[in-house]
Structure 1
């Protein structure tokens, strides 16, 4: 079983994950770009098992590498060979031919798989939603519909990036749909007519009870399968909207009740993470009649203050603003809120539609294990496109088949019993020492530096080799985290004196 990836993203750091990738056009035998996407999105076993039985790269002239837009920078032939030699022998089963294990529901309405686009620019026009449906997404949460006159700033995005240019954290100051209500209703009608089995979740925002009520009714009348109440957008120009509502349980209850008065379809409250705890707002939504909770929306943030202009990004004519932060960096925060809702006995019958930093099927699985019955994605789509749905579905389906799990629904919330709000439940009578693999170790000494200056001075450095001093080690495992060679693992336990 592949618990961790054999090939690292860093091994293909120069790959730009091209559109209409020249490497695949050049190769007449396999799809190198598809295999590279599998590596990038934590789906190596599926990528390896989809290859032909015999490695065609052994005798080829690496035409894929010659065609690469970063010619000579991406070791495509080597990476494919790694899939054959290191990953394929460890893969336990063939790639399943069908994906019925992924079938689930959102408040009783069938979904072909758990994956939806979340309310944002990625689900804001008919064409975009149609292309997402064609790609394999089960549904969309359409960009928030309102009666406000929306005018956006430019630019309105910024990011914190990794060494290869991939986005770790993403900030936006974008608001709501800039189409009229009538235009959006026409989009719903067309989508439902042309894609009757796909799920349409209509995100709405009203300025008063009457608007919440009328917008919910309109969405149902024009084909929406469910309504999501936006109590969480942090980017509103006016006070008393978006996350201002989500921070006041009384308003959450009042406006949820207003929306429920006019519709018979499920209603989800989308809640803000800009609170200490989400349960008060979630319980208020339940009292108002909500059928589910969607979480999390983006986190209020400031990104990239310029050392020259002193303005944070995105800068608009010398000014900036606090905006919503998303991307893989927020996933731990999102999981904490999902677990909080999932563990709350008052909310036990509420559907949770989870989002916040999901890029890979493993990310999605974590949300499911913490209680999410459906998954929503935006930032990863903005970066990599609708095509990521292939690896989301294939990876999760392969995992379920490999584990002998008949349905994704069987593991919703399966990890909740392992999580505690406090650390007082943790066993504290033993120390788990690290152990060093000296064959992998290159003698860099990073573990020694971190242990000396951020730990307990428990590692000696003799002849450029680390050696543990068990009398000082407290088993914090900082050394494991900083080792660039993954040469440190969990070792033996010792009972404390």
Structure 2
């Protein structure tokens, strides 16, 4: 008998799904159920979406054909995803989550009404008319079009690489791509057509000039083309020319000068896109606001070297035997993005400035964290490159359901909620300990917590020879909670706080 899935096993199994296009598990289902979409919602923490999608779970429970598993392409690699068990688990969520109230995600950003806070960020995912039109049709509220200049850069091949960890090949992403590879006139035509055909969607025109005259000229041209907002690219980390991209963002004087030049060419809201390749983002952000910016976009990618191949000593991406410093993005940069956004929102002169946040947003939970730190607009790239525009369905559904469950009446109610609970280090409680709390029935006895505590902590755990499970020595425990972080099944939780 196959053991029923719990939350841990369901998450682990859904993580193994290939997330196929035109998934055969769905196309071959004799009951018209969409297991691919159910699994995708599980993958992206949209449990309410799972509950709604599963519908009549009895169809899956009684299915004898198992056509979904037989069609699963992962079976050609090792074994198929255990789709029937996942569907049964999804059915068990139906009663618990299906009655959640949903909240409309409309929000105003820089004075512009947006149907939801989710935008494509300025990158390859928003680089021509067809792409952005498809994204709009699927539910994205807006797009920051790929950066427009007066020149067309010469690109390299290949231009992407990823950082791997264990079974995950996409925790970090590096690119060495520059601005748009279309001419200025082609890009202006894309903007005009998009605005004409999607008047309620929001178009952010990202621009990059080579001098003050170009910044003014580009601002005027994209304004005439119908853009709603202009974003100044002060932050691309791998432009080939001096005084471009992140070179500008690290120099407050250039930020002031080019923001003023942009403002000269437009009446539209202006965002200054910040580089994280700097210690204090508040300095260039203040410079931008001083000379005409309406808001801030943060963060752009981080200067990086992805790896070194120890056979031939070449880094990635490999361009005819050589590589270069590029821009790092993906899930692993989220903590860095949140830190910079926090710093700006805590600054007395920036606390009320609108911020478009980006950097590692994959799920609705990531999005909610950016909102809770004060962002009122969100931009996404790397996740789209990995999963496609379709992630918008779970982003919208997951965030809307979360807001309803928490009692919020709008997205705006969440904005900034986390800021009061982030304080300087000297204001933290240093006179108490939260000891770990062990769930003995859930513990597998693998000893991961013991190894980490002994070799990387305070030697406060030992393995009980009778039960084969860890035992705590409270005299040595300092409550660091390393054990709870490494437990693979979540059998260790933070216990009650005790004053010392």
TM (norm. structure 1) is 0.96
Residue 136 in 1 paired to residue 136 in 2? no
Q: CA offset at residue 116 of structure 1?
A: 0.3
Residue 461 in 1 paired to residue 467 in 2? no
Contact 1:49 1:94 in 2 (8 A): no
* Cα RMSD for the two superposed structures: 1.5
1:129-165: CA deviation from partner (whole Å, max 9, x where unpaired): 1001011100110000012330111111000134444
Equivalent position of 1:172 in the other structure: 175
Equivalent position of 1:147 in the other structure: 150
Contact 1:199 1:225 in 2 (8 A): yes
CA distance in 2, matches of 1:320, 1:334: 26
Q: CA offset at residue 304 of structure 1?
A: 1.9
Counterpart secondary structure, 1:396 = helix
Equivalent position of 2:367 in the other structure: 364
Q: CA offset at residue 55 of structure 1?
A: 2.5
Equivalent position of 1:399 in the other structure: 402
Q: CA offset at residue 485 of structure 1?
A: 1.9
2:85 to 78, 86, 104: 78
Counterpart secondary structure, 2:317 = coil
Q: CA offset at residue 8 of structure 1?
A: 4.9
Q: CA offset at residue 346 of structure 1?
A: 0.4
Q: Which runs of 5+ in 2 are unaligned?
A: 1-5
Contact 1:7 1:39 in 2 (8 A): no
Counterpart secondary structure, 2:394 = helix
Residue 302 in 1 paired to residue 308 in 2? no
Counterpart secondary structure, 2:74 = coil
Equivalent position of 2:96 in the other structure: 90
Equivalent position of 1:449 in the other structure: 451
Q: CA offset at residue 53 of structure 1?
A: 4.2
CA distance in 1, matches of 2:57, 2:36: 18
Contact 1:272 1:298 in 2 (8 A): yes
2:426 to 417, 424, 427: 424
Q: CA offset at residue 93 of structure 1?
A: 2.2
Contact 1:303 1:312 in 2 (8 A): yes
Q: Which runs of 5+ in 1 are unaligned?
A: none
Equivalent position of 1:480 in the other structure: 484
CA distance in 1, matches of 2:196, 2:380: 24
Residue 262 in 1 paired to residue 269 in 2? no
2:112 to 102, 109, 114: 109
Counterpart secondary structure, 2:146 = strand
Contact 1:92 1:402 in 2 (8 A): no
Residue 35 in 1 paired to residue 41 in 2? no
Equivalent position of 1:317 in the other structure: 320
Q: Provide the aligned length of Structure 1 versus Structure 2.
A: 488
Equivalent position of 2:389 in the other structure: 386
TM (norm. structure 2) is 0.95
In structure 2, the CA distance between the partners of 1:95 and 1:349, relative to structure 1 (3 Å rule), is closer
Contact 1:230 1:269 in 2 (8 A): yes
CA distance in 1, matches of 2:9, 2:275: 36
Contact 1:268 1:293 in 2 (8 A): yes
Counterpart secondary structure, 2:60 = coil
1:262-312: CA deviation from partner (whole Å, max 9, x where unpaired): 111100000000011100010001001100000000000111210111111
CA distance in 2, matches of 1:460, 1:135: 53
In structure 2, the CA distance between the partners of 1:257 and 1:40, relative to structure 1 (3 Å rule), is same
In structure 2, the CA distance between the partners of 1:80 and 1:54, relative to structure 1 (3 Å rule), is closer
1:190-248: CA deviation from partner (whole Å, max 9, x where unpaired): 11111111110000000111100010010000110010000000011011110000001
1:2-48: CA deviation from partner (whole Å, max 9, x where unpaired): xx966653222431000011111112232101100101111123212
Counterpart secondary structure, 2:147 = strand
Q: CA offset at residue 88 of structure 1?
A: 3.0
CA distance in 1, matches of 2:488, 2:58: 30
Q: CA offset at residue 317 of structure 1?
A: 1.4
